[in-house]
Amino acid sequence: MNMGNNVLVYAAAASTFIAGVLHIALVPMFLKSMTPDVMIFFIVSGLAQIYWIIPTIKRWIMPWYYIGIAGTIILIILWIIAIPGSGYPIGETDVAIEVFQIVYIILSVIIIVNTNREKNKIQI
């Protein structure tokens, strides 16, 4: 794997880590207004995103990237339904989380494409 891919991998890991930390940071920020199930959702989502730096940095097999992308897309869809879709105001933290999640998806797709290109070059 070349230097450019290393940068992409670490940037993807950093973006999912930051999104995870921000998800967890929402809990104390809105402690009095969150129900226990919503708190648990944000904690679990945040921990999953923080955990996801491991398969990203270690470059585990491709299904891990696909699972990470799918899970992140699901989180974005849930946010769209729950916040703007329900008429709640969009906060700065919301925007930051969504941006980092989108960055993770884009970088992961680029990593997959680059990895497939490298495999195809080796096979030829």
| pLDDT value of position 117 | 87
Tens-digit pLDDT string for the chain (124 aa) = 577 789 999 999 999 999 999 999 999 988 888 899 989 999 999 999 999 999 999 988 788 999 999 999 999 999 999 999 888 899 999 999 999 999 999 999 999 999 888 888 776 5
114 token code pair: 């680059």
Contact 20, 49 (CB under 8 A): yes
* End-to-end alpha carbon distance in the chain: 17
pLDDT per residue as tens digits for the range 32-46: 888 999 899 999 999
Rounded Cα distance between 88 and 96, Å, is: 16
Contact 62, 69 (CB under 8 A): no
| pLDDT value of position 124 | 54
Amino acid, res. 114: N
Rounded to the nearest 10°, the torsion over CA 104, 54, 112, 77 is -40
